A and B are shown apart, each in its own frame.
Chain A
Amino acid sequence: MMLPVWLSKTAWPSNTADSVQSAFLIVTAVCCVLLLGVTATMIAFLIKYNSRRNPVPGPDRENLSLEIVWTVVPVAIVLGMFYVGWVNFDYIRDAPADTMNISVLGRQWQWSFTYANGRQSGKLRVPLGKPVKLEMTSADVIHSFYIPAFKVKEDVVPGMKTHLWFIADRPGAYDIFCTEYCGLGHSRMRAKLIVMPVAEFNGWYRQKAEPPPNRGLALLQAKGCLGCHNVTSQVKVGPGFKGIYGSRVTVLVKGREQVMTVDEAYLKFMITNPDVWVVKGFPPIMPKIPLTEEETGEIIQYIKTLK
């Protein structure tokens, strides 16, 4: 069941934003009335019964019926608020049967999206007006997938599948935020949601994924390395890759500084044992990424080309 929507449906970019907002407005309106009532009464009493105006206090009287009223009425009010929150909630949480499903993987500090046909993307592209269901999980710690414009979120938990669904009602680009604290790059764990007209979406969806220009780059992307490293020389969380090969870096080895040249052996050691040596000036937070020997080689070869 939907509540009577006295706001134009098109005012909101998704069905979920619409129902969340109508419940929010009703509950908030009631709370504002209560707050204003209590505050105004308190101020009126403080002024009216000031000791200068009212030097002798009135008799101490109990008033049982008044107390019953202000117990029963608030119970009724909160039950009403609970109901308003609940009816909309069922609609927002329970996805219909005919959704288009997209897998979402969260990892420190990057989102990636995989479609039914195997297409992968770092941006969440969805068709306008079609129900979309996100099936989400995490590769490391708890994250939370939040689309502020659509007013919905759900935690993304390792070892568990969670979901969200929505119908996007307005084309455009929207923010995606992580709202469960997940470490150093938490505030940078953002992505874009792109709502496209159906025909345009279908064109993008059917088009074969651009062949990765390079397998090393594809691996950096797929394994989440680019959550913390840039392929330019810019520092993100860890060092940027461009120009790093052949450069000399200061590394902390058991707390002692040592200057090393970045060569193949160095890169291989740093990728496979990220917690042993730490480059000076960077936090010791790189996780061990499961990679085969061959994949590590591809990545090193790619980094060598970044000059």
Chain B
Amino acid sequence: MSHRTIWGFVFLFSLAACIQDDFLDDSVLEELRINTSPDTFSIGQTYQFTARYTNRIGEVEDRALVWNSSATDILTITNTGLATPIAEGISTISVSTTITNGEVLTVEQITIVQADSVPFELMRREGQIRTTSSYVLEGDFTVQEEDDNLIVDIKSNYRASSSLPGLYIYLTNNPNSIANAYEVGRVDVFNGAHIYQIPGIRLNDYDYLLYYCKPFNVKVGDGQFNN
């Protein structure tokens, strides 16, 4: 058998090694959320409400928003979301936008106005990490802003399989995909409490932690922010 035949044989089978396409089921519900805000205000204490719309792949998009107050004699709110408490009582703040299929999506937040001064509490979000694979991954966490950093505080009940090669953690609005996600870094703690300090990310930029195995290119688990 000649060398040409041998290398032809090798080349023929190498052709089979072509790059093709895999498709990820990354569809999520379009979502509109009022960013984490205080629920109690004092009279005259204005507050800028903000909201965020994410499309069907969890990507943040600018949308025309309509703000409303259910009791304008208690609290008024402008088209840009600036709220002004006027009198004691309860008002429901709502924000609406039109989504892809033409329906109007509305979310609400109950607000209380009181006469006494109300210091805004440090806002914090929390959730539970869960496995979505056969690998062990679990634990509680909280997220809060500190100076210009986002602090992801993984609690002491956290544990993850250390057997998994190339495990990374992301912040995302789509728990099924790392597209449009923020890569926090490689996971090198597999048991117990630890902290990720992330500069330049705000409390309401993302709604999920996502654990992702790079070598396998597959999601391992996630943790939704509950509030």
Mutual binders A and B: no
Residue positions of A touching B, CB distance < 8 A: none
Residue positions of B touching A, CB distance < 8 A: none
